[in-house]
Amino acid sequence: MGKNFSTFSYKNRAAFTEKLDINGVGDAYEFGYTDVLKYKNFKDLKYTGSVTINDFNAIAETPLNRLEWKTTYLGVQSTVDYQFYDSFFFFLSARAGLNLSTILRGKQTVNNAGFDLTRNGEFSGLVLQPVIGVYAKYYLSKNGYLSAGLNLSKSLKLGNNTDNVSINNTQIVFGGYFDLIKR
């Protein structure tokens, strides 16, 4: 679990509107399974498959308007981790992967008027997010460890996106990992 620090980019193509950059903070949750990726005896690669829930929230104000977005996305994520540093019980790894998600709930408020974003083509449908990050892990025992990580991602809306809505996200996460198989 952790926090998302998001920047929405939104550009309405109408001549009278301005480009808005809006920022906000939301929650992040991930639950998954990690295993060693057996590739040419390269034991430092791990694969993770997980389910994610991400809140991407933001607020922007102009001299005339106040815009607020509160959204929650449910997704599946697949990543590969490469462990590049090993020192006794402390490890560092780099991560790269993809998250495919869809909106669960969303609300837009413009000057106290509310709108449902789940029916808006700019937000509904599938969103693809390439993810890169770094993680630090500390082993508590040979059956479990704690981690802290930083992920960066940018959303790519699949399908209708005439207003060019995209989410740039910095995610700080903390986790616990436990072996399901006794060694």
Give the Cα separation of 49 and 81 in Å (integer). Answer: 11
Say how many C-beta atoms besides its own lie within 10 A of residue 19's C-beta: 9
**DSSP one-letter code for 88:** T
pLDDT reading at 21 higher than 80:
no
CATH dotted code for 2-178: 2.40.160
DSSP string, 121-135: TTTSSEEEEEEEEEE
What mean pLDDT, rounded, does the chain reach?
Answer: 86
Q: Which three-class secondary structure state does DSSP give residue 1?
A: coil
Cα-to-chain-centroid distance, residue 172: 10
Q: pTM of the full predicted structure?
A: 0.86
Bridge partners, residue 82, by sequence: 45, 94
pLDDT, one tens digit per residue, over 66-120 is 888 899 999 999 999 998 888 888 999 999 999 999 999 999 888 888 899 888 8
Higher per-residue pLDDT: 7 or 121: 7
